[in-house]
């Protein structure tokens, strides 16, 4: 059997990035993935907003099949009456539509401050407020406030009035595509194609990839991680183990509390990881009519910041909202020989309802009703509909709570406190173990950043 000096668990974007970086520095790397194919949760996404430029360049993803259909997607905030608002350019540099000059000027100023032009004291004030109050102080147009409130809470378990909603927004604004901050990109073949390109790049670098290979535990001997045991009972040993699965799953399930101190075990059990987003996929027999909106845009259904808050309120009680807010992408609007596909992220969805099947059916019905409001007759075009709730995402992708950051982006779970106090900077709580998932700094999205940074930390420790 081949000998490896590093075993990486999880072939999502972060595991692939870590494995490639280590292999490029001479390590012999075995990458283990429980699913049939690599890529992890990349396929859950439908747009790229924070692919790490270091990862894209070093892995030479273009040479391994990554093609951008576009890296300049505009955002259109939909209105049922067709009075849409369009945010064009990176981070909505230009507003197109019926909007006042005052709001145009106010948005330009707020955008500049959020991008780093603010003084430190002003930044401190912004960070300590919530996004609802920030937007209410600065802007008047409900569509603009709705879109920004949606972005600030996307993927989280927070409404616009909740504390901690400005910092995650800043993290999202810091992302880039093709080297442009705030740009949104759509790969040819969707985001799953990005994961596939990363897998080919890792293999070309010499990484050995084994899919359909589930790790049941990390073996610990003499208070050191020494290998992994597979679900089949097979043992694989290496002096370095890198876990690119969620920190809670790594610590509590793979390592086990008996190898951790009591305080860390308690903190791991209480790490907040509540998912509030559902993923909707529709197959349509024809393109819908969205009252004149450009179907190649990123389409937002969030008419105001109040709509976002109202969609969040029922979820606090594990109920489905009547009017979820949504982000919609129609990749086949760029051309297709087959049926059209609509992909949407719908918020907010309960992550632990008492009746999961009923909640799933209610969420699908609520999403279709919302779409019908903005695109009359779209329900009649649906040939296939699938919705994944947070608990489905947890089951399929191993993300606790269906939380796509593998741990919520809140002040107490960010920067040097991520994933947990005492085990930041990617070093695990026992020698030989390293952490490299989206649960590490800086968080989720299909970026590869936590995995790349973990590999750099390992190199620095040698």
Comparison of pLDDT for 182 and 139, the residue scoring more: 139
Assigned fold of 6-69+187-272+400-461: FAD/NAD(P)-binding domain (3.50.50)
pLDDT at position 414 is 77
Mean pLDDT of 307-336: 95
Helices in 239-334 by DSSP H: which ranges? 247-248, 262-269, 305-312
Question: Tell me: the pLDDT tens digits for 323-339?
Answer: 999 999 999 998 877 79
- Report the chain's mean pLDDT, rounded to a whole number: 92
State the DSSP H helix or E strand holding residue 24, giving kind and residue range, or none if neither.
helix 13-24
In the predicted model, is pLDDT for residue 361 greater than 60? yes
- Helix segments in 128-269, DSSP class H: 131-138, 142-153, 166-173, 191-204, 247-248, 262-269
pLDDT in tens, 193-210: 999 999 999 999 999 999
Name the least confident of 4-13, 27-36, 322-331, 397-406: 397-406
The rounded percent of the chain whose pLDDT value lies above 70 is 97
**What pLDDT score was predicted for residue 119?**
55
Confidence of residue 11 (pLDDT cuts 50, 70, 90): very high
Provide the pLDDT for residue 345: 97
pLDDT digits (tens, 9 = 90+) for 75-105: 999 999 999 999 999 889 999 999 999 999 9
- Report which of 410, 281, 439, 273 is spatially closest to residue 345, judged by C-alpha positions: 281
Break the chain into its structural domains and give their ranges: 6-69+187-272+400-461, 100-180, 277-397
Pairwise CA distance, residues 82 & 252, whole Å:
50
Provide the pLDDT for residue 120. Answer: 53
Per-residue pLDDT averaged across 224-243, rounded? 97
pLDDT tens-digit readout, 409-440: 877 777 788 899 888 889 999 999 999 999 99
Average pLDDT over residues 43-69: 93
Q: How confident is the model at residue 16 (pLDDT cuts 50, 70, 90)?
A: very high
C-alpha distances (whole Å) from 447 to each of 32, 145, 402 are 20, 27, 18
**pLDDT tens sequence across 339-348:** 999 999 999 9
Dihedral angle sign, alpha carbons of residues 66, 69, 72, 74: negative
Average pLDDT over residues 51-57: 94
- What is the per-residue pLDDT for 322? 97
Q: Quote the tokens at residue 272.
A: 């907040």
> Sign of dihedral through CA atoms 304, 407, 359, 354?
negative
pLDDT at 181: 85
Q: Is 458 within 8 Å of 22 (Cβ atoms)? A: yes
Tracing tokens 């604004």 back to the chain, one arrives at 173
In Å, what is the CA distance from 41 to each residue of 8, 165, 290, 409, 444? 16, 24, 29, 17, 10
Over residues 140-178, the pLDDT tens digits come to: 999 999 999 999 999 889 999 998 888 888 888 888 888
User: What is the value of pTM for the model shown?
Assistant: 0.93
CB 378 within 8 A of CB 288: yes
pLDDT in tens, 98-132: 999 999 999 999 888 877 645 555 666 677 789 99
pLDDT score of 156: 87
Q: Are 56 and 26 in contact (CB under 8 A)?
A: no
């Amino acid at each position: 059997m081949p000998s490896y000096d590093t075993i990486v668990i999880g072939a999502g974007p972060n595991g692939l990035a870590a494995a490639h970086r280590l292999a490029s520095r001479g390590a012999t790397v075995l990458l283990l993935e429980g699913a049939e194919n690599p890529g992890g949760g990349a396929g859950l996404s439908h747009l790229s907003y924070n692919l790490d430029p270091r990862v894209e360049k070093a892995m030479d993803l273009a040479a391994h099949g990554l093609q951008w259909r576009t890296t300049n997607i505009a955002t259109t905030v939909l209105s049922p009456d067709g009075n849409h608002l369009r945010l064009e350019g990176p981070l909505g540099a230009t507003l197109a539509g019926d909007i006042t000059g005052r709001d145009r000027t106010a948005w330009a100023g707020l955008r500049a401050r959020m991008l780093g032009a603010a003084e430190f004291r002003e930044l401190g004030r912004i960070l300590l407020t919530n996004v609802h109050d920030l937007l209410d102080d600065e802007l008047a147009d409900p569509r603009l406030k709705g879109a920004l409130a949606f972005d600030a809470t996307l993927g989280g378990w927070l409404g616009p009035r909740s504390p901690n909603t400005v910092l995650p927004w800043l993290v999202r604004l810091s992302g880039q595509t093709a080297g442009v901050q705030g740009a949104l990109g759509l790969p040819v073949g969707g985001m799953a194609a990005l994961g596939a390109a990363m897998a080919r790049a890792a293999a070309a670098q010499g990484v050995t990839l084994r899919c359909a290979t589930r790790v049941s535990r990390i073996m610990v001997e003499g208070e050191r991680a020494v290998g992994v045991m597979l679900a089949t009972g097979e043992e694989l040993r290496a002096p370095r183990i890198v876990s690119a699965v969620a920190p809670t799953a790594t610590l509590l399930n793979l390592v086990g509390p008996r190898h951790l101190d009591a305080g860390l075990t308690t903190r791991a059990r209480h790490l907040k990881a509540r998912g509030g987003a559902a993923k909707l996929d529709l197959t349509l027999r024809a393109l819908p009519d969205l009252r004149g909106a450009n179907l190649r845009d990123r389409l937002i259904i969030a008419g105001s910041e109040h709509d976002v808050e109202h969609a969040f309120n029922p979820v606090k009680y594990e109920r489905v909202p009547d009017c979820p807010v949504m982000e919609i992408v129609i990749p086949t609007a760029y051309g297709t020989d087959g049926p059209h596909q609509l992909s949407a992220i719908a918020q907010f969805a309960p992550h632990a309802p008492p009746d999961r099947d009923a909640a799933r059916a209610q969420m699908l019905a609520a999403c279709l009703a919302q779409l019908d409001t903005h695109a009359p007759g779209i329900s009649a075009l649906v040939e296939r509909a699938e919705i994944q709730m947070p608990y489905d995402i947890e089951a399929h992708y191993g993300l606790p709570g269906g939380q796509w950051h593998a741990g919520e982006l809140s002040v107490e779970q960010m920067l040097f406190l991520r994933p947990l106090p005492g085990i930041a900077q990617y070093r695990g709580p026992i020698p030989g173990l390293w952490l490299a998932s989206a649960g590490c700094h800086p968080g989720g999205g299909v970026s590869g950043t936590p995995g790349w940074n973990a590999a750099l930390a390992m190199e620095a420790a040698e």
